[in-house]
Structure 1
Amino acid sequence: MRVPRPFVAYLRVYEPLSAFPPASRDRLRHMAENSPLDRADVGVHEQLMWLKSQEVGAATRLPGERPDGSPLPTRDVMAVRAESGELLVCPLDLRARSAAAVVGFLSTAANPLREATLGESADRLRHKAGTVLADMPGGAVHVVSTTWTVPLPWFVLVQPSERVVTGEGATRTVYWLIPMRTARKRVQRAFELAEATFGESGPTKVLQDTGRWLAHFHEDSMVELDYGGLVQLMADDDIDADTSAEDVNAILDAIEQPDPGAVAERFERLREFWSELAVRERMQ
């Protein structure tokens, strides 16, 4: 029986091997060519890696570490081919992503929750997480994720015609894969429109953060928006009826015209589609 995937969606960046430190390129190439992770399996793999890290070792141990807390060599990667045929690699960066999650938790959680969860380990884990992030090659992780939904600003990266749907049932995937140069142009356009229309908060902040994140990577990279485990919550009819990319891009066009009526109509369609997933989250 196949283990259900976590209800997580992803933005990923696949970089050329030349973008990585020379000492790691041969290892990355070997893994990418011989044992890359599949989109339909990567969510469960990440979940198991996190659980494994909690079985042995101190409370400050992160996924991708030895029991003594030292980092393991990168072993978990995804891979795609560019239009040119060049091999592009996306390390999962589990250790750094977990460190970022720790920093976020410690920055936002109330004191009682921090004490109940980490106790006396909180300060040590905060220091360790900060060190891990400071040592991150390139200054950014290759994967960002979100649970139960897809942030609507992410859809400015893609066009409806670029969507790929593969497999069925437990192995079904829904994703978009686009060149980095295209992604950066689309995010910049959307950011400028959002800033002029909505100010500096809300979707504008998400777009600004996304643009800054993309700027860390090689210009010959590919960017992927992957529904991940969210497809388990969608029937075939739901996927067929999903016009999120079309609606978000139509909103940008309507803002440029301007056409307030079209903006409101598209926002309502998006709200109706994604609110059904939000209801399922509350039922868990």
Structure 2
Amino acid sequence: MPSPFLSYLRVYEPLRAFDGASGAAVRAGLARGAVRPDRAGRRERELCLRAMLRGRLLPGDAGGGAGAPVDVLVLGGEGGEPFVCPLDTRPRAGAAVLGFLAEEDPVLRSSALVVPEAAARRRAERAVAELGDSAAHVVTAAWTVPLPWFALVDPEERQVRLDAQRRVWWRVPIAKALGRAGQAERVVRGALGDDGPAEVLAETRGWLERFDRTSIVELDYGGLVDLVDDAALRADDSAGEVQRALRLLRAGDLDEATECYGRLRDFWGRVAARQRDG
């Protein structure tokens, strides 16, 4: 079974950010062994499916929950200190359940839930609360990459693997990502207004501001690489197109910026069309 068709924006914090009692579950997960990034989506899907098949709403509902080891991704750091990205699967799944309850039709809610709706809401709220004052280290998007995410990265720093561990990703120090997000937000807000891309950039910047300033940000195509052939992945210049569009907007050339957007829309529209095609 392929990986879920999700893209990812992740934050890896230095291990020292997880000192103390609040970081015990992360340190336990690290001691247990890191998950490979190309397997993270499948790992999370497996945990959620197992929970549902056993009549549970969320991973960890059987008594793990807060304090149980969490799955982590790890990057080596300078001087030997690792950088760790907790997957935060349980609270993220809880947030997804709350979103489902808020947005979907009552008939669909009752048919999809494995527990009564009121109980599902309580369990999901408890799972989200397990993050405490922290933020989830992972955000996802289905069937596409939100174009504002590309404003965070340098097009020249893209990494591509087309072997068995097929991946496309960028990594950037969080300080640079924050600076780029702020600059892009100002440009987009001035040219296009407060909605749409400007709002996404503002939300992304606010999320990043919650992490240690020595952290590393990773933009990962995740399972979307399985929807694009090797030649198209090599030729893909989405990050470059977004940077060109920002330069054109800064210069007041809305027409040329719109052409950049059109090329991006065509590329990612073809990827998203795979959802309709099954």
Query: Deviation string for 1:131-168 (max 9, x for gaps)?
Result: 33233144311111111110111100111111011241
Tell me how far apart the structure 1 counterparts of residues 55 and 114 of structure 2 sit (CA, whole Å): 16
Tell me how far apart the structure 2 counterparts of residues 9 and 94 of structure 1 sit (CA, whole Å): 15
Aligned residues: 278
Identity of aligned residues (%): 40
| Partner SS, residue 169 of structure 2 | strand
Is the contact between residue 6 and residue 47 of structure 1 (CA under 8 Å) also seen in structure 2? yes
Matched, 1:62 2:58: yes
1:37 paired residue number: 35
| Partner SS, residue 171 of structure 1 | coil
Tell me how far apart the structure 2 counterparts of residues 241 and 124 of structure 1 sit (CA, whole Å): 48
Distance 1:66 1:103, change over 3 A: closer
How far off its partner does 1:130 sit? 2.1
Q: What is the letter of the counterpart of residue 230 of structure 2?
A: D
TM-score, normalising length: structure 1: 0.90
2:195 paired residue number: 201
Is the contact between residue 29 and residue 69 of structure 2 (CA under 8 Å) also seen in structure 1? no
2:183 paired residue number: 189
2:46 paired residue number: 48
Tell me how far apart the structure 2 counterparts of residues 39 and 120 of structure 1 sit (CA, whole Å): 32
Q: Gaps (5+ residues) in structure 2?
A: none
How far off its partner does 1:45 sit? 0.9
Q: What is the letter of the counterpart of residue 209 of structure 1?
A: E
2:231 paired residue number: 237
TM-score, normalising length: structure 2: 0.92
Is the contact between residue 62 and residue 69 of structure 1 (CA under 8 Å) also seen in structure 2? no
Tell me how far apart the structure 1 counterparts of residues 275 and 24 of structure 2 sit (CA, whole Å): 42
Q: What is the letter of the counterpart of residue 42 of structure 2?
A: V
Matched, 1:222 2:220: no
Q: Give the one of 273, 277, 280 matched to 2:271.
A: 277
Q: Give the one of 103, 106, 110 matched to 1:108.
A: 103
Q: What is the letter of the counterpart of residue 131 of structure 2?
A: M
98-107 or 196-205: bigger deviation: 196-205
Distance 1:33 1:242, change over 3 A: farther
- The two structures, once aligned, show a CA RMSD in angstroms of 2.1
How far off its partner does 1:241 sit? 1.4
Is the contact between residue 193 and residue 256 of structure 1 (CA under 8 Å) also seen in structure 2? yes
Q: What is the letter of the counterpart of residue 18 of structure 1?
A: R
Distance 1:141 1:279, change over 3 A: same
Is the contact between residue 16 and residue 86 of structure 1 (CA under 8 Å) also seen in structure 2? yes
Query: Deviation string for 1:217-275 (max 9, x for gaps)?
Result: 11111000000111111111101211100000111111111112320221111011111
Distance 1:226 1:70, change over 3 A: closer
82-91 or 248-257: bigger deviation: 82-91
| Partner SS, residue 186 of structure 1 | helix
Q: What is the letter of the counterpart of residue 154 of structure 1?
A: W
Matched, 1:16 2:11: no
17-26 or 241-250: bigger deviation: 17-26
2:83 paired residue number: 88
Tell me how far apart the structure 1 counterparts of residues 5 and 115 of structure 2 sit (CA, whole Å): 31
Query: Deviation string for 1:205-224 (max 9, x for gaps)?
Result: 11111111111111111000
Q: Give the one of 104, 107, 117 matched to 1:122.
A: 117
Is the contact between residue 18 and residue 27 of structure 2 (CA under 8 Å) also seen in structure 1? no
